[in-house]
Each structure stands twice: as structure tokens, then as C-alpha cells.
Amino acid sequence: MMNPMDELRPPTRLMLTPGPSCLSPRVYRALSAPMVGHVDPWFIEFMGGVQDLLRRVFQTKNHITFPISASGSGGIETAVVNVLEPGDEAIVCVNGTFSGRMAEIAERTGAKIIRVPAPLGRTVDPDDVRRAGQGRKIKFVGCTHGETSTGVVTKLDPLRKVADELGALLVVDSVASLGGVPLDVDGQRVDVCFSGTQKAISAPPGMSPITVNARVEDLLRNRKTKVQSWYFDLTTVMHYWGKERTYHHTPPIPLIYALHEALRIVLEETLEGSWERHRQNQTALIAGLEAMGIRMFVENPEDRLPTVTCVYIPDGIDGAKVRSRLLNEFNIEIAGGLGEIKATTWRVGLMGYSSQRGNVLLFLDALERILLDQGMKLSVGAGIAAAAGSFAHAEAVPVGTGK
């Protein structure tokens, strides 16, 4: 048993989970910067720079753009409770655990929530959303851009079209996609978009960047009731991140330092470079896994989320023991499934600083050894050879240099 008085010495892991991801040495250095107060003039000016970088990554000019002091689930709650009031109607596209969480949070506001489902591993059909909203006054259409429970990515443009037809806002959960998957908040006319810092941005967990457009600002000003949550009420917290810098709460200052550095790394690489790196590495990972006889959970390649790959555990393989050996012998962490597919799937994250060619090859080699030990019949070296072949046809995109 660990002695609580022992010095902190966590193990060094290769995080190939759906979050958190590994951190660049530059982000670790930012975390160790001197502490200042949250109303210190230096920090108040620094906050503006963080907001500017967030706008560039979201690709927006929205005035209300800042990191919420909470995890991605806090982002879901902020997005939902600020828009909905009792008696409103809204649609949530549900195709996994986290889109289901958006619906559950929305249902607690007193609004009528229409869940439009899709089978796990698939995207919600925009025509189903259209039919569900016909003849109703829909406040928003909500979706999860990257559903980490299944590894599905949702196309936003068709949902924007349906939302326009219904006169509704479009609310997007980009927790697992921002920085790793093409997303243009202004260009795709997303009204509310929130994310998480610990995934493709590769900052520590604990903050949820959010951006809302002028249409939502007007809605907030004209609410008939108070926002259900005091802490997540944008009508007050936005003043701390606005010109007034009016005290609201004490934010996690070192996490904001780290977020600033992580955003700098993303933008130095360029968004296009980051998207391409994530795409290349997942393509190679899938090539390697399929060469080893492992099936993808998401059948349609166009629906696969580049940052999280969900796969079926091969027949006869003890999935929990594989994950345990990866962790304890190779210091590699991957995740099991969630919900209905908990016992039948693994989820492999290639996010942010974790999404590197060497990590793909290291994981495939370790996985092969463990599967062979469990008696799985596979061609030795086939996984690495297939991944290497995939990489050979793509120009390398380096992650942050660590300088």
C-alpha cells in the first residue's frame, strides 16, 4: 500500500487512451512557472492572449471564447443549461455515452428533449433529425463531433442544414476533436462549441474551452429565467473573461499556463498539419491492427474518428489481461469499452502529443507479443510491416519539437 507521506513519484506512461494524452516537455515547463494571482495585472493581460489562441484553434471571431474551469463534462453542462429554459424543446443526436450525457444534462433543465438515436458505431442520420423536429419549435440541435465511447466522427454540415430548416441553434461537443479533426466554428456556423484541454490539444485535464456566437449572446441577454447553474452561468463568468475582468471564481492558473503553451504548439504546427498528422497515424494504426486480424468497431471508414480508434477484442483473447500487460510490462495505457460494448472492445487514443509514428509502432509491437502469448494465430511482424508501409506513402508531419 502506498504511504501517503512518500514523495510523489508517478510512473511514466505512454498514454494511448481516449484522454488524457501525453504532454510535451514545453507544457510541463509551463506548469512549473511561478504562481501569480488571478487579478494580477500581468495575468489579466495574459488571459487575453489565451483567448486569442483559442479563437485561432476554434477558427472563430466570437467575443465569448474562454476556458471554463472544469472538465469536458462541465463544457457539456455550460452549453446546455445556458441555452435551455423550462418548456423549451431541443434535439440531441445520441450515438454513444457522451452524446447520451448531453441529452441527460439537457433533460434536467425542464426542457423537452428529443433523443434521435443511431446504432453504436454509426452516425445519426440527419433525415431522422429533420423528421423529429418537423412541426416543433426546436431551440437547438446538439451533437458530439467525436464520440469517444465508439470512435465515431459526425459530419457537422448536414446537421447545420437541418438546424437552419428548424430555426435552431447548433451545439457541438468537440472534446475529442478540437485540434485533431477539421473544425471551423465560424465557417460551419456552429453556435455553441466546447471542448476539453486534455485530448488533441495535449494540455492537462481540468479545463473546457468554449465559444458562443453573437446569436447566443442575444439569447442569454433575453432569458426569462436564471440559468440553472450558478457556476456555469455564462452571463456572469463571461464578465471575468471579458473587458471587465470582474471576479467570478479563482481559476486554475497553472492549467491556464499549460493551455497557453499547448495552444502555441498546435498553432506552430498549423491546424492543417495537426489534422494531417492525426489522420496519418490513425491510418497506419488501422492498417497494422487489421493485418493482425483485429476488426474495427466502426465499419464505415468515413465515420471513424481520427483521434480514437475503437476495435473488437479478438475471439479467445482476455481483453482485461491484455490491457494489464500493456500497462505493467510496456507502460502503455489503452482503454476498454464503455456501456454496452465494455467487455467486447478496446479504445486506442492517438491524440495530440501522443499521436506520433513511433508510438504507433511501439504499441503494435507490444500488442503482438501479448496476443501471441495468449495463443492468437497471427503472422509475426505483419502489424508493424503494414503500419510502416502506410507511413511510407505519407510525408511525415512532426509533432511539437519540445524546444
> Under a CB-based contact definition with an 8 Å cutoff, are residues 102 and 142 in contact?
yes
pLDDT at residue number 403 = 43
- pLDDT over threshold 90, residue 154: yes
pLDDT at residue number 400 = 65
pLDDT at residue number 141 = 98
pLDDT at residue number 365 = 98
- pLDDT over threshold 60, residue 402: no
pLDDT at residue number 235 = 87
pLDDT at residue number 401 = 53
- pLDDT tens readout for residues 67-101: 999 999 999 999 999 999 999 999 999 999 999 99
- pLDDT tens readout for residues 168-215: 999 999 999 999 999 999 999 999 999 999 999 999 999 999 999 999
Averaged pLDDT for residues 225-241: 88
pLDDT at residue number 9 = 93
Average pLDDT, the chain: 95
| Percentage of residues in the chain having pLDDT higher than 90 | 93
Stronger pLDDT, 118 or 243, i.e. the higher one: 118
- pLDDT over threshold 80, residue 132: yes
- What gap in Å lies between CA 31 and CA 66, rounded to an integer? 19
